Structure 1
Amino acid sequence: MIRKATLQDLDQLTNLFDQYVVFYKKPSDYEKHREYLKERMENNEATIFIASDDANPDKIIGFALIYVTFSSLALNKILILNDLFVDASIRKKGIGEKLILKTVEFAKELGSNVIRLRTAKSNTVAQGLYNKMGFVREDYLYSYDLTVN
């Protein structure tokens, strides 16, 4: 089952989020990650969809964290699918697809026709899913980051 996360889901969600961050070679920091997610939820700065196990509906097994922003080129809202993660023990069962489909449904509700995401070049499993779901890798524009200290 896929549904929107609430503050009651915060502890389980943080556990998965922490695994996600570690997957991308960042340090585990449960309290920092919990506070980050809590702020996003309390301030309505992100939408988080969670997947639960059909056999155990109280157990969260995956999430999609989405930010809504705007694109000057599209002249419309766009969704940034910033984080997508499924517990390693339950992958390859269509959970990631379901989370993406829920994100597509959400985009349609908002009148957005673009969902954007980034993933590591080495994350070929996720790339396979994104290709399967119809995402097109952008070759026209480059992505740049500037770290400000």
Structure 2
Amino acid sequence: MTTVREEDLDVLLPLVRAYTRFYEETGGFTPPTDEALLALSRALLDRPDHDGVQLLARDPSTGEALGFATIYWTFSTLSAARVAVMNDLYVTPAARGSGLAERLIEACRERALARGCASLQWTTALDNHRAQRVYDRVGGTRSEWLHYALPTDR
């Protein structure tokens, strides 16, 4: 896994777009524009130590981009510690079942540990059973928390 660089954005964008399309279809939200997605990636490139990083997984033989993960740095009052939030994890359909998702999660865990984070946390859709099986396999602990969101522009 490599940390996304400016020169990776052209291969990262189709992966991020596919990721947003998946949640658009299952969650019924309007995805951001390509320009907004690229601006987000560039903001992370500008302040990786403060905001977070994106990781890119490539096929070692061909160099083809096969998946990505986004980690944001934050704090948890409940644990009184710095934590990492794996906000995004996506693997192309052709690479699913290959262990790539597990390797991306491990790379995120390693980055979180190196940053001094007490844990790596994430959420997924309640009906994303395939992802949940991966998360169970890597030793993730399920939570009973219910995720809410509130638009700030109402």
Common fold, TM-score beyond 0.5?
yes
Looking at structure 2, the residues matched to 43 and 52 of structure 1 have their Cα atoms a distance apart, in angstroms, of 23
Provide, for residues 32-51 of structure 1, a one-character-per-residue CA deviation record: whole Å limited to 9, x for no partner.
22222122222332211110
Q: Indicate conservation of the 8 Å contact 1:15/1:30, yes or no.
A: no
- Counterpart for residue 15 of structure 1: 14
Q: Indicate conservation of the 8 Å contact 1:65/1:82, yes or no.
A: yes
Provide, for residues 53-95 of structure 1, a one-character-per-residue CA deviation record: whole Å limited to 9, x for no partner.
02212x2111110001011121111000000001112211011
- Counterpart for residue 55 of structure 1: 61
- Counterpart for residue 27 of structure 2: none
Looking at structure 1, the residues matched to 32 and 77 of structure 2 have their Cα atoms a distance apart, in angstroms, of 36
Displacement of 1:28: 6.5
Alignment pair present for 1:89 and 2:88: no
Q: Identity of paired residues, percent?
A: 29
Looking at structure 1, the residues matched to 45 and 21 of structure 2 have their Cα atoms a distance apart, in angstroms, of 22
Looking at structure 2, the residues matched to 49 and 133 of structure 1 have their Cα atoms a distance apart, in angstroms, of 18
- Counterpart for residue 34 of structure 1: 38
Looking at structure 2, the residues matched to 131 and 35 of structure 1 have their Cα atoms a distance apart, in angstroms, of 33
Looking at structure 2, the residues matched to 27 and 72 of structure 1 have their Cα atoms a distance apart, in angstroms, of 31
Q: Which amino acid aligns with 2:85?
A: I
Q: Indicate conservation of the 8 Å contact 2:41/2:54, yes or no.
A: no
Higher mean displacement: 42-51 or 70-79: 42-51
5+ residue gaps in structure 2?
A: 25-29
5+ residue gaps in structure 1?
A: none
Looking at structure 2, the residues matched to 103 and 96 of structure 1 have their Cα atoms a distance apart, in angstroms, of 11
Q: Indicate conservation of the 8 Å contact 2:44/2:54, yes or no.
A: no
- Counterpart for residue 143 of structure 1: 147
Displacement of 1:27: 3.6
Q: Indicate conservation of the 8 Å contact 1:14/1:37, yes or no.
A: no
Q: How many residues get paired?
A: 146
Looking at structure 2, the residues matched to 40 and 105 of structure 1 have their Cα atoms a distance apart, in angstroms, of 18
State how 1:62-141 maps to structure 2 within 5 Å: 62-139=67-144, 141=145
